[in-house]
Amino acid sequence: MAIEIENISKTFGSFKALNNLSLIIPEGKLTALLGPSGSGKTTLLRIIAGLETPDNNPDSDIRFNGQSVAERHARERGVGFVFQHYALFRHMSVFDNIAFGLKVKPWRSRPSRSEIKDKVSELLKLIQLEGIGNRMPSQLSGGQRQRVALARALAVEPKFLLLDEPFGALDTKVRQDLRNWLRKLHDELHITSLFVTHDQEEALEVSDKVVIMNKGRIEQEGSPEEVFHNPATEFVMNFIGHVNLFHGRLEKGKAVFGKIVIDAADVPADKLGKDARLFIRPFEMEISSLNAEGSIKAKVERIQAAGVSVKVELKSEDGKVFTAELTHERFRELQLVKDMEVFVSPRNTRIFVEDYQV
Sites of contact with ligand ATP (CB under 6 A): 12, 17, 35, 37-43, 198
Strand order in the sheet with 209-214: 79-82, 160-164, 192-197, 30-34, 209-214, 217-222
Least distance (Å) between residue 54 CB and ligand ATP:
12
H-helix or E-strand spanning residue 234:
helix 234-239
Smaller CB separation from ligand ATP, 84 or 93: 84
Cα 336 to Cα 145: distance, rounded to the nearest angstrom: 47
Residue 12 or 89 having the CB closest to ligand ATP: 12
Cβ at position 11, least distance to ligand ATP in Å: 9
If one counts every other C-beta atom within 10 angstroms of the C-beta of residue 5, the result is 20
One DSSP character per residue, 273-333 reads TSEEEEEE-GGGEEEESS--TT-EEEEEEEEE-SSSSEEEEEEETTS-EEEEEE-HHHHHH
CB of 1 to ligand ATP, least distance (A): 24
Tell which residue, 165, 208, 158, 154, has the closest CA to residue 36. Answer: 165
CB of residue 163 to ligand ATP, shortest distance in Å: 12
Which is closer to ligand ATP, CB of 41 or CB of 209? 41
- Smallest gap, in angstroms, from Cβ of residue 142 to ligand ATP? 18
How many CB atoms sit inside 10 A of residue 285's CB? 22
Minimum Å distance from CB 70 to ligand ATP? 19
Q: How far is the CB of 38 from ligand ATP (least distance, A)?
A: 4
For ligand ATP, the closer of residues 220 and 244 by Cβ is: 220
Nearest to 195 by CA among 286, 84, 118: 84
Asked if 113 and 99 count as a contact pair (C-beta separation under 8 A), the reply is no
Are 199 and 172 in contact by the 8 Å Cβ rule? The answer is no
Question: How crowded is residue 43: how many other Cβ atoms within 10 Å of its Cβ?
Answer: 21
Instruction: Report the nearest approach of ligand ATP to the CB of residue 40 (Å).
Output: 4
Q: How many CA atoms lie within 13 A of 98 on its CB side?
A: 30
Answer for the pair 182, 155: CB distance below 8 angstroms, yes or no: no
DSSP 25: E
> Would you say 37 or 109 has its CB closer to ligand ATP?
37
Q: Which residues pair with 15 in a beta bridge?
A: 12
When the beta carbons of 121 and 238 are compared against ligand ATP, the nearer one is 238
